[in-house]
Structure 1
Amino acid sequence: MSTLSIGNELKDSFGETSKWVQYNLKWLLEVEAFYKERSKLEKEYSDKLQALTAEYFNKKSVASVPLGVGEKPTMTPGSIEAASVVAWNEILTQTELIARDHGKLALDFDKTISAQVNGLYTKLDMTMTQITGFFNDMDKKKNGAYSDLEKGKKYYDDSCQNMELARSKSTKSPNDRNKKKLADKEVAMNVAKNDYLIKISQANRIKDKYYFQDIPEAVDLLQDLNECRTMFLNDIWKQASQLEITMGGNLQKRLTTADEVVKQNKPSLGTAMFIKHNVKNWKEPSDFVFKPSPIWHDDEGFIVSGSVELKDLKVKLAESQSTYNQMEDMTQSELSKLSKYNKVKQQLKSNEDSMDSKRFYENLKNYLSVVSGFTSHETIKLLSEVRIESIQNNVPEGMDLNVDDIKVTKTRKNRTSIFGGGSSSSNTNRHHTSTSGKSEGGLLSKFTVKNLLAIDSRKPNDSGNHLGLFNNNSGSSKSHSRSTSHATPDYEESSSPDINSTSTSTPSMGRSRANTSATSHTMTSTTSTSGNGNKVLFAYEKQDDDEISVQPGDIIDLVEKDSGSGWTSVKNISQGGIIGLVPTTYIKIAEPSTSTTHNSRGPAPSVPPPRRNTVAVRTVTAQYAYEAQGNDEMNISPGDVITVIRGDDGSGWTFGELNGEKGLVPTSYCN
């Protein structure tokens, strides 16, 4: 089974791959021309051979008697012919039939083989146009995000300039009117900066999605198209060979040999050669960073100095949460379809010798019809997700981000572009997944490509999952966020060895896809208060090592109050006294606390709040040496202390940072 993936191996390679596939498609026209010329030759040969046999039939008729009985027989033989003449007649008869066979072969080559090759070229060229359109659409969205970032930067600089002018006027003439203008300009400047910072996060996330999901997706579609071309052409070649095999046994041996060569032309061979001759050192483009105005602010922190800025951010938060929830429903439905098509593809590619080329091509078309919409919806969802994360992780502690009182107006919605994220509905209580840094929570994020490998089999010896669909291996994190997970479709088990098995020897390598199901929090209408007045309002199942699960009725003690992160450290007496974090809104603490808690039972929050940067950084120590096998991995040596950016999601890989380098390392090689 082929595990090669151009998208995974060559990353940003749509242009080169597109030209390669176009060359292969145009080459079909040369194949068509060959069979047309072959048809002419066969027709010419048929006509000459028939004329030849007709001539010798006439000669045989004249010579039949002399050959049988001589020139002056005493008794004419009548219709009886000599045995040699009968044999010759049979030879001429069969030769005439051979001439007719060549005529039929000429017609078949022209009307069947060359016509099929031409039809194949037309069909695949149309699909190529669709794939190119899909790529151009994703490229347009990426450029749109970059453009929005540039506009945000310009608006921020202009606001800083206006602020400085207002400050100068107020300094020279400190009257009430100038002071009010100065205050207004400062608010406008702060709002512009906050919007600029949001756009930086959005552009970075879109950049990651573009290079680690969109381009590999489009490139793999090109790969599938080219492999379809190979399979269809193989079928046509075998059909042409069969036409010639039927002409006579004397041609069968040579044509059978040619047929065997055709059978060896597996769809993956062309891909393997292309990859071998196009490998290049590729480096991910640098992240966008905040560029301070030369006049005013010099750091990248949000400014929320008053209610106006806070209200602006809360409106943005409400819009983004509503949009996220809408896109979540759409992408989950599309995700289920893509998962089904990916499974069909893997089943078909499991045996290239007997692959159903028509079914493979139909599945490719079905996948293409869904993935374009899914990617667009997932882009909108990702932008909303980044905006939610940016606001939640950067608004100063102690400020109220409750958006229950925010009504998203229709006018505001109409002003909101796809890269601003917006919705006319108010915030709902639906599940949404907040993110960690670049990609935790987004269904198709920077390192989701790692998981996508399991279905698309993009990389040799890699049994991760293509569209993994979609356990997150996130990229680098700028902040630590906590989220509930969403249920994802189940996938067939990988045959890769279990790298998480306990062994005293060096662990075996291999990537396996985790068929994870969601562990979301459970709402309940029953609450119970413990003797100390603390109580659990809603059931919560832990999502990380430093959390604990709680159920209504559990007896809990406060260990450390909420510092503003939205998480409280408690001891669960009912479960043996284990200590860990739980969402503050899921419990009620009787002791006085400055943290935000629910003092009475109400609807469960849609998602636990994000964890702020105050959470301690987790590290692991390498126990074995490992040499990177891909550009997204990194080398480690025994004793290396690795900062964990994204923990193992069940795939057997941890994403971390070592000496400024970021990449994946085998989880079982560290502790």
Structure 2
Amino acid sequence: MFMFKSNLERVVLEREYATKLQLLAKKLSDKKSKKMAALVIGTEPTKSWDENTLRQNTLDQAYSQFIVSMNDTAQDHITLADALSMQITDALRATIKRHDDTNRKQMQHFSKLLSERDRVYSDRLKYKQKYDEKCSEVELYRQKQERSADDRHAERAAKQYEQQQADMHNSKNIYLIGTAVANSVKAKFYDSDLPSLEDQFQELQTDLLIKFTKIMVHAQALESSHLDNLKSRVAAAETAFNAIAPLQDQNIFIDHNIRSFFAPPDFVFEPCGVYYDTFAQSEMSIEPAPKVYLQNRLSRCRRKLEELDPILRSKKVDVEKLGKLVPAYAQDHSLGNAEEVADNYLEADHQLTFFGTSERILTTEVETISQALGGDEGQQCPHTFKSTSFSIPTQCGYCKSTIWGLSKQGKTCKVCGISVHSKCELKVPADCPGSQGGAPRSTPHPSAGSTSQAPASRTISTITASHSRASSVSVTPTPSSFAHTDASIHLSEESSLNARVVYDYTPTSPFELAITEGQSVEVLEEDDGSGWIKVADATGGSGLVPASYIEAIDEPASVQPLQPLPTINRASKPQMGPKKNYGIPDPILSPSWVSYEHTKLTTFFFLQGEQIELTSGPSGGQSYSDDWWEGIDSSGKKGIFPSNYVREHAYADEAMVADSAAC
């Protein structure tokens, strides 16, 4: 404020006595004439005004009286100048600094509100783009199905078309949800957040004027006590400053700045231009596959609301209590630091605002989905999925494709053991047998961490999921953690894995990439069992390389080994698997160069249908470890193999035949 500079100048002029003090009074009068109009009625008033309008402002009146008082106190002594320097100027400096800091925080809060609103708007546009892409893909698959009607691949084309339709419906549902969320957030922004922020700015301005008034009143009190002959003049200035009425001055400003305002119209569903949607434009798809997705999403939103409710109630109580403390501390400074209490109040209110936004998003999703489902919410026995890394190929319980890799590409239910891709999590029906009211699953998926007791000489086969024991991290909930959008969910599921090259490799086809020992590469596609992996180097090149020629260097922190780590014999290069074939998967073979230091036992080579006899003893067979078993193959060779690669055969006790993938 220009009053702060004026007080600094006044201290200097007081020491130079009357002549300079009169010069300062004139300068203040000029500044007042230039800036008071903007302070009283704003820079762009919507109503005509004159000098009488300015004189109605209590701050203008007090400031005018202050200038008169300065002209009348041209005979002040140096003692008064010292008092003003220590008790008035420093106080003004601190007040202005705190006001600027608080105002900056408010502006940052406003920017965050805008960013949060724009993020929701942007997510809606992303959903729209995704929906359009899915519609285009449906049209392409439809044309493909028509072309292959009499072909031997007609059935596969029909299945692909049905799956693509389901994906398109999911994209549409997500788009409709995003539209509803955007409308809800928009309404909250303009009906609640923005008015609340304006009220806070008004309160800050009121607080600034009140503190400024107190400081100036104290300045006049110093003059009154030090200069008895100027008491009458000081009393006039003191009266003027005490007469400052922030509410009255703000009403004058408001009266001269009234403008019409209309909230933006609601968002609406925009149909795709390349796909004819047979449903109504505002109707969500509730066919079997999309309905399962909606039911799971509804269940997750309700769980989030249950977690958010106690936090929201606690924040409301905090805001209410702090709101009562602010005026009490402002009136009685003996209670404590009033400024700290005011800062705490604003911070608590900001947090409540964002938690309220999360509640609005979740509530809107629940209402939108519930209305679409019409009471058909499924069994509501949700799976307890947990992010999992898969060290061996595992079939997805939904799409039946392979899950494999250490970059957390899938999730596993901690109760029933079913494993799915992260993208398939919400597509799986909520019928977990371990949940309350759930029906038992006919063929549960065993987890790698479970141990089953069986007779000593039983044969086992079949690949199952290898579940990592991921550590769970407890974090303090934040507003955004309760309302993740689908865009943020899918982004969080993508992660990269870096690896180091351990052997040189020269490509033999255009699809392969040249690598050198010690080079760092990024894994694009992990080994699907063929022995080949797709990587990218620092120059932007990408291609296939033998999976055994690289090693991971930054595995996710939550991944823990399921068994003792193998050591690689670097005396000779490992044998490469067959070239990667994207049409027919190759059999999966465990490399013979992997050994285990603590047992010196090698892993098996065995193919589908081969018999394996479990060894006996306290450390043999299934007792070898949780994830590795010991057995004897058909040639009499003794070794260990992953327990999740095999399963017990149903019709033989002493000698049984493996009937799944090779190890």
For Structure 1 versus Structure 2, the TM-score category normalised by the shorter chain is: 0.3 to 0.5
TM-score under structure 1 length normalisation? 0.47
Structure 2 length-normalised TM: 0.47
